[in-house]
Structure 1
Amino acid sequence: MSETGTAGAIVVGVDGSEAATRAVRWAAETAAERGLPLRLAHALTLSGGYYGGGLAVPREFFEAIERDSERVLDEAMEVASTAGPGVDIDTVLVREPVIPSLLELSGEARMIVLGGVGQGGFPGMRLGSTAVAVSSHAHCPVVVVRNRDGEDVPTEGPVVVGVDGSPTSERAVAVAFEEASLRGAPLVAVHAWLDGDYDTVFSPARSYSTWESVDEVERRALAERLAGWQEKYPDVRVERVVARDRPRHQLLEWSARARLLVVGCRGRGGFRGLLLGSTSQAMLQHADCPVLVVRSDPAG
């Protein structure tokens, strides 16, 4: 293990699964592009030393788990070295539960990267547990690397960000502009403002002129939210999308064309109830590209 440490590094959770391997490859390529160190983290959780009526677990059992964990890290190191030649790669084998371990590592990391599903050293690493918990509480942005069915993780297309005007959304916009600039990609800013039930919202009582005026207000508000960032990142070509639709519908549709989807952990207004478990969780479970989750207060 090198002495690189976690400060400023991209930290990726490793568990030996195919999803984790995709995450390692994505993280290594990103680290190489940005000249950042990479840390591969594997959680070795040994719960209890007894079984079967109080009989002690043989030492060989623990030694076998240790060897398997080292194998997982060695294989991840090989993948990372190939995907990110020249990257300073560090490995860490932690003997604590995975979620608090990753949250601790997030305190100094540039970002945490996880696979969409997992197994092995990250037991139960499903989007209802590790990825959701880490995305909700990490001190840095968290990327859950998703691929399209039967395809590799996308490397083409725009960076897409959900915009709703909340503090979390403002930070997501900032991160999205930075990501688009670093990747040389266009940015699509999506604002979906439909909260009501379709049958009620699209009732005959609603006049087209009313919809037109609301739509214009939403477009103007989105343009104002992006104006300062467009000045800061003049190299980023921006497409503004305002839709009378539910946020998750719009973002999932755009994820089929995007290389990265950026969402806030919480939201309001057009993204009302944007908590992991609603829009953000829907992205983590169903998006067709990597999803980057941003908190409004990463230090909180």
Structure 2
Amino acid sequence: MKASWRVLKAVGAMTLPLVVGVDGSETALWATDWAVDEAALHTLPLRIVHASLWERYEGPISLESEEVPSERALAQHIIGRAAERARQRNPDVKITVDIVPDAAATALLREARHATAVVTGCRGRGLIKGALLGSVSRSLATHAASPVVVVRGTPHNRQRANGRIVVGVGDATTSTEAIRFSFREAQARRCTLQAVRAWRRSARKPSQHPLFAGGAAHQQEDQATALLDDVLRAAENEHSDVLVHRITAEGPAHHVLLTYSATADLLVVGAPRHQGPLALPLGRVALAALQHADCPVAVVPTVRPPEAVPTTANSAHAADH
């Protein structure tokens, strides 16, 4: 019975919808296009959600009233436009729509509990239109229970024209789920996966001879290579048909990944989630990717037990991965 329950749970997880949040902005339409293609790729239903507080402020409409409040009309226009765009892009994808009477971040965080992933644009219709990252996208990336895809980058990258996915590899505790996600994506798309591990050269002491300093650098690069081998082994065994390129590069992790994002269709990074009452901040790598990457970014959560949360002394190092 226990084994059967596991099978049913796995089947149920596969049929969870892909959710895309729309707000009428141009980036939300990019997100809709990306989500339609993703839903078709994985044979998933697509749920299009628009969050609007009009009903909370104006109250329900009387059945006898023929007048439609302007905010409700706007919400219906936004959701209708997105749904029509999705149907035109791929009529075979099963699409449902919903206008949720709540704040956007709250509504989409709730949706994430029962979603394969949540997709958003990089910026919304807010007052600060020049912001690098919208507040809703940042909140989702920091707190969502499911993977979050923020659709950004050039039209070339958003249209999956490069045939390449990049996954940033930190350590085993923060990268496992991101690696699994990236392998599934690479297999479904039949594209190459680049697994990237950044390493840093230790600061050389004044008395240290340059030859010894070079030896230490080689050692750090070897350690980065060994870590890649260790964390990729299980996923490679499960997805033996995925072509994987291991890349070790010297430099800050966020700089290295941004460089590789220029020729990628998707950049995947991990984000720790704390099981206890405290929320971990979004790490430097994930935040930089969401603000500056040249392609869509998937932030994949990894749940960490309370004892695994970094202390003040080492939190700065953890944030860089």
Please indicate, yes or no, whether the TM-score normalized by the shorter chain is above 0.5: yes
Counterparts of residues 45-194 of structure 1 (less than 5 Å) = 45-46=53-54, 63-119=69-125, 127-148=133-154, 151=156, 153-155=158-160, 156-194=162-200
**CA deviation profile, 1:166-214 (whole Å, cap 9, x unmatched):** 32211111111111111111110000022867999x9958521221122
- In structure 2, relative to structure 1, the CA distance for the partners of 1:247 and 1:82 (3 Å cut) is same
Query: 1:297 Cα shift?
Result: 2.5
Please give the root-mean-square deviation of Cα atoms over the aligned residues, in Å. 3.2
- Tell me how many residue pairs correspond in the alignment: 276
- Rounded to whole Å, the distance in 2 between the matches of 1:199 and 1:82 is 62
Is the contact made by 1:118 and 1:124 (CA closer than 8 Å) also made in structure 2? no
Aligned to 1:40: 48
Is the contact made by 2:172 and 2:231 (CA closer than 8 Å) also made in structure 1? no
Aligned to 1:10: 18
- In structure 2, relative to structure 1, the CA distance for the partners of 1:133 and 1:171 (3 Å cut) is same
- Rounded to whole Å, the distance in 2 between the matches of 1:86 and 1:241 is 38
Opposite residue 285 of structure 2, the aligned amino acid is T
Aligned to 2:213: 207
Query: 1:18 Cα shift?
Result: 0.8
Which protein is richer in helix relative to its size? Answer: 2
- In structure 2, relative to structure 1, the CA distance for the partners of 1:134 and 1:24 (3 Å cut) is same
**CA deviation profile, 1:110-137 (whole Å, cap 9, x unmatched):** 11000011117xx999725111111111
Query: 1:48 Cα shift?
Result: 7.7
**CA deviation profile, 1:20-62 (whole Å, cap 9, x unmatched):** 0000011011111221110110011249859xxxxxxxx9997
- Rounded to whole Å, the distance in 2 between the matches of 1:135 and 1:158 is 22
Counterparts of residues 236-251 of structure 1 (less than 5 Å) = 236-251=242-257
Is the contact made by 1:275 and 1:281 (CA closer than 8 Å) also made in structure 2? no
Is the contact made by 1:145 and 1:290 (CA closer than 8 Å) also made in structure 2? yes
More off after superposition, 157-166 vs 170-179: 157-166
Query: 1:10 Cα shift?
Result: 0.6
- In structure 2, relative to structure 1, the CA distance for the partners of 1:276 and 1:47 (3 Å cut) is farther
Aligned to 1:26: 34
Say yes or no: does 1:234 pair with 2:240.
Answer: yes
| Secondary structure of the corresponding residue to residue 39 of structure 1 | strand
Opposite residue 32 of structure 2, the aligned amino acid is V
More off after superposition, 154-163 vs 88-97: 154-163
Say yes or no: does 1:285 pair with 2:291.
Answer: yes
Identical-residue share of aligned pairs (%): 35
- Rounded to whole Å, the distance in 2 between the matches of 1:69 and 1:126 is 25
Q: Where does structure 1 differ by over 3 angstroms across 4 or more consecutive aligned residues?
A: 46-50, 59-62, 123-126, 195-200, 202-206
Opposite residue 108 of structure 2, the aligned amino acid is L
TM-score, reference length from structure 1 = 0.83
- Rounded to whole Å, the distance in 2 between the matches of 1:212 and 1:180 is 30
| Secondary structure of the corresponding residue to residue 92 of structure 1 | strand
- Rounded to whole Å, the distance in 2 between the matches of 1:280 and 1:198 is 29
Say yes or no: does 1:258 pair with 2:257.
Answer: no
Give the unaligned 5+ runs of structure 1: 1-6, 51-58, 268-273
TM-score, reference length from structure 2 = 0.77
- Rounded to whole Å, the distance in 1 between the matches of 2:71 and 2:218 is 63
Structure showing greater relative contact order (alpha-carbon pairs closer than 8 Å, 6 or more residues apart): 1
Give the unaligned 5+ runs of structure 2: 1-14, 59-64, 274-279, 307-321
- In structure 2, relative to structure 1, the CA distance for the partners of 1:107 and 1:206 (3 Å cut) is same
